[in-house]
Amino acid sequence: MRKHIFSRALLIILLFFLTVSSHATAARSSSVISKTAVHFFNEGQRINGILTEPEFLQNPAPVIILLHGFLGHMDDLPVHDSEESLFEMTARIFAEGGISSLRFDFRGSGTSEGEWKDTTFNKQVSDAISSISFLQSLENIDGNRIGVVGLSQGGLVAACLAARDSRVKSVALWSAVAIPVHTYSALLGKDSVDRAIEADSLEEITAEISW
């Protein structure tokens, strides 16, 4: 069983790199990478992001959506010995392989509109769904080849997004929240999580974060 699981995991990794390398030839003709501040709207609120693209591609490029984590934003987590953030570096590497990417701040985070206290998991999934519609409106994006990478809580959002929206063709979970009850009990306190699980869907449950 372990060999079977390992073989499947290795195959997935190899297929991923083959997919990336298939777009690399066009990108090598120029090392220039385009970064554009973009925005879109969800439920009347503006969501700000950065679209990173390889320039001089002859055909619309596939795109990866990068989803940040709990209490984060699209350009947090500086990379050691680098002037880039984690997602900024990730976006650059994708672009060097011929793949565009969009990273954005969920509503209530970073530079996007909204208050963090109003953030819910479903709202973050909704923001991600709106980002797909935005990307499909762009001529230089291949709307049939959209993937998502989710970091930490963003991984939980990414998994739910892929299950809800068939436009997502691939998903990668990066240090993702795997067991939400355990993770959020540690962050918010077990009592708060238990009350939330038992509460009516319209009941508001609040908790204080100690850090």
Whether 42 and 130 have beta carbons less than 8 Å apart is answered as yes
pLDDT band at 211 (very low <50, low <70, confident <90, very high): low
Answer yes or no: pTM beyond 0.85.
no
Mean pLDDT of 33-39: 96
pLDDT band at 31 (very low <50, low <70, confident <90, very high): low
Contacts of 32 (CB under 8 A, 6+ apart): 55, 56
Q: Using the predicted structure, report yes or no on whether residue 198 has a pLDDT greater than 80.
A: yes
Which CATH architecture is the domain 17-178 placed in?
3-Layer(aba) Sandwich (3.40)
Q: What is the pLDDT of residue 206?
A: 79
pLDDT band at 10 (very low <50, low <70, confident <90, very high): very low
Contacts of range 11-18, beta carbons closer than 8 Å, 24 or more positions apart: 16/170, 16/172
pLDDT per residue as tens digits for the range 38-68:
999 999 999 999 999 998 787 999 999 999 9
Torsion of CA 113, 102, 63, 134, to 10 degrees: 30
Instruction: Provide the mean pLDDT of the chain.
Output: 87
Residue appearing with tokens 């934003």: 73
Q: What is the pLDDT of residue 24?
A: 45
Q: What is the pLDDT of residue 21?
A: 43
Tell me the C-alpha distance between 5 and 20, whole Å. Answer: 23
Listed in order, the ranges of the chain carrying CATH 3.40.50.1820 are 17-178
Higher pLDDT, 126 or 14: 126
Q: Name the strand (E) or helix (H) holding 174.
A: strand 168-174
Convert 136-155 to b/e letters by CB count within 10 Å (16 or more is b).
Answer: eebeebbbebbbbbbbbbbb
Q: Using the predicted structure, report yes or no on whether residue 22 has a pLDDT greater than 50.
A: no
pLDDT band at 7 (very low <50, low <70, confident <90, very high): very low
The structure tokens listed for 181 are 């009850």
Tell me the C-alpha distance between 135 and 64, whole Å. Answer: 10
Whether 45 and 109 have beta carbons less than 8 Å apart is answered as no
Furthest CA-CA distance within the chain:
57
Percent with pLDDT over 70 in the chain: 84
Q: 3-class SS at 97? A: coil
pLDDT per residue as tens digits for the range 114-162:
999 899 999 999 999 999 999 999 999 999 999 999 999 999 999 999 9
Q: What is the pLDDT of residue 4?
A: 43
Higher pLDDT, 168 or 25: 168
The structure tokens listed for 147 are 């993937």
Q: Which of 105-114, 118-127, 170-179, 198-207 has the lowest mean pLDDT?
A: 198-207
Q: Using the predicted structure, report yes or no on whether residue 202 has a pLDDT greater than 90.
A: no
For residue 129, what are the CA distances in angstroms to 124, 132, 173, 211?
Answer: 9, 5, 17, 30
